[in-house]
Structure 1
Amino acid sequence: MAICLFVIATTNSLAAQQSSHALFNGKDLDGWQQVGPGSFVVTDGTMKTEGGMGMLWYTREKVAHATIRVVFKLSAKESDSGVFIRIPDKPTEPWMPINRGYEVEIGDWPDDYSCTGVLYTFTRALARPIKPIGEWNTMNITIDGPRTIVYLNSIKVTDFTEGQTVPAKPPGSHDPDRGPRPDSGFIGLQNHPGSEVYFREVSVVPLP
């Protein structure tokens, strides 16, 4: 019985490992597509943002019931980027993901609604555990049905479920449109003018 249980546990562990996969291969932008101004360039195993405002999105799958792992670093205090999630359709311009998906913010900003790990202008940071400029950060974004949980460097920053109260969009602002987002969607990375952010890992780990 003990041997059988060990074999089952090992098999399940291997299956979980095999279903986890990298979206960025460390060599080129295979599977990714740019929309909007600016670009991403691959150098020394990392993706670097250049110019903008645009977005690089992953074309090969929608992500649902999974954790997205992103390893990134800022190059300056003013560095600005984000991870888009729950994008319902293939984007053709960079504003659609902002208004119809969520942007998980990347940026060391003073406002608790626009700092790293929040759903930009929707949620207030539970903590601000970003590392100093130039150091690598690890962000885990879990999409579990209508719930989104974000950990930055192993500390929870966001825990949001569709239907919770969020701040109203200020009239005339460029903040994202309010309203529900889908349980699954494409993902993307933002490139912002005058800003350089580096990414060395983007991967997906399905939930049990």
Structure 2
Amino acid sequence: MRLLLVFLLLAVATPTSAQDGFTALFNGKDLSGWDGEPGLWAVEDGVIVGTSVVGKPKTNSFLIWNGKAKDFELRATVKVVGDNNSGIQYRSRRLPEVTPWTILGYQCDVHPTDVHTAMTYEERGRGIFGYNGVDVVMDPTGQRWQVGERPRVQVDIAQYNEFTVIARGNRLEHKVNGQTTSVFIDHDEKARALEGLIAIQLHAGNPHKTYVKQVLLKVLADSAVLPFDEATLPAGSKKIDKPKVVSAQGKTAPAKKAPATK
């Protein structure tokens, strides 16, 4: 499996490798190695640009890398201009029954509302695991445990920021500009994923543009899956409910449609 992953990486990534063992998944010229809904994605001045307008896409759409990753470190330099959000999808799978560019899986949220910035989240799945500033463990029954807190990282997503995902076994860590936002350990064997697709989200709703300047991937050696033992949770750990969505798109709610007239 590890040899297959390396082969896939070499097959779809640009030949130019970055420093420290990272490989660039975007060649800076075109969308070779990626699959997205026609008309939504383009390369402008060496940057991937996703454009969302009212009614298109009708549902969240994804630019999907033509490869899979298991244990890795992923770094994406992204900004969102307009009142909406984006996300870096990983260990995901397609939902072709919805659209060819709809996926389910873990996401590092690129969101203007600070509680959602780089939170641990699952698109079309279990929702929010931990806000920005909160570390969470999900036990085998699907119960969330808050096991730690950290200062909330605040950034302006209308400017370029580097979002990092480190996936080792069932431990997932998100960072923005090198600062950890949330750590999530997933013990839910029925729902979790240990391998899958990487993608960039173009959110439906409020008009905006998502810009992706760089996507770097480093394949890591396979890590053991951490076992769950309530007795070993950090002191002060507590059960929590599923965190609520504070803002589904940007910082403001989308405009409501006017009632139909007869």
| TM-score bracket for this pair, using the shorter chain length | 0.7 to 0.9
- Structure 1 counterpart of 2:87: 82
- Relative to structure 1, the CA distance from residue 18 to residue 104 in structure 2 (aligned partners, 3 Å threshold; closer, same or farther) is closer
- TM-superposition CA deviations, 1:48-90 (whole Å, max 9, x none): 111223111001x2112110110011213x13111111114x5
1:188 correspondence with 2:196: no
The aligned counterpart of 2:34 is 32
Other-structure match for 1:167 = none
Residue 16 and residue 75 in structure 1: after superposition, are their counterparts in 2 closer, same or farther (change >3 A)? closer
The Cα shift of 1:150 comes to 0.7
Q: Which amino acid aligns with 1:187?
A: I
Q: 1:141 maps to which residue?
A: 165
Of the candidates 3, 21, 24, which is equivalent to residue 22 of structure 1? 24
The one-letter code sitting in structure 2 at the alignment partner of 1:29 is L
User: Which amino acid is the alignment partner of residue 183 of structure 2?
Assistant: D
Match of 1:105 among 97, 109, 120: 109
One-letter identity of the residue aligned with 1:207: L
The answer as to whether partners of 2:80 and 2:86 remain within 8 angstroms in 1 is no
CA contact (8 A) 1:150 1:156 kept: yes
Aligned to 1:154: 178
Q: CA deviation at 1:33?
A: 0.5
Report the RMSD for the aligned CA atoms in angstroms: 2.7
Counterparts in 2 of 1:91 and 1:22: CA distance versus 1, 3 Å: farther
Q: How many Å apart are 1:154 and its aligned residue?
A: 1.2
What residue number does 1:64 align with?
70
Distance in 2 (CA, whole Å) between partners of 1:116 and 1:133 is: 9
Which sections of structure 2, spanning at least 5 residues, go unmatched? 1-16, 122-127, 134-150, 222-262
TM-score (norm 2): 0.59
Normalising by structure 1, we get a TM-score of: 0.73
Distance 1:195 1:128, change over 3 A: farther
Return the structure number with greater helix share: 1
1:124 aligns with 2:126: no
On the 8 A contact 1:32/1:56 being kept in 2, the answer is yes
The letter for the 2-side match of 1:195 is H
Q: What is the deviation of 1:133?
A: 4.8
Match of 1:172 in 2: none
The change in CA–CA distance for 1:16 and 1:139 in structure 2 (over 3 A counts) is closer
CA contact (8 A) 1:82 1:106 kept: yes
Stretches of 4+ moved more than 3 A in 1? 15-19
Taking the aligned partners of 1:34 and 1:91, their CA distance within structure 2 comes to: 14
For residues 135 and 58 of structure 1, what CA distance do their matches in structure 2 show?
24
Counterpart CA distance in 1 for 2:75 and 2:101 is 23
Aligned counterparts of 1:185 and 1:109: Cα–Cα separation in 2: 27
Contact 2:63/2:101 (8 A) holds in 1: no
| Matches of 1:203 and 1:44, distance apart in 2 | 18
The answer to whether the aligner puts 1:44 opposite 2:45 as a matched pair is: yes
Preserved contact between residue 47 and residue 199 of structure 1 (Cα < 8 Å): yes
Go from structure 1 to structure 2 and tell me whether the alpha carbon gap of 1:38 and 1:185 turns closer, same or farther (over 3 Å shift).
Answer: same
Give 1 or 2: higher strand fraction.
2
Alignment check: 8 A CA contact 1:50 1:192 kept: no
Secondary structure of the corresponding residue to residue 122 of structure 1: strand
Unaligned ranges ≥5, structure 1: 1-14, 165-178
- CA distance in 2 between counterparts of 1:108 and 1:18 reads 30
Structure with higher Rg: it is: 2
Contact 1:130 1:137 in 2 (8 A): no
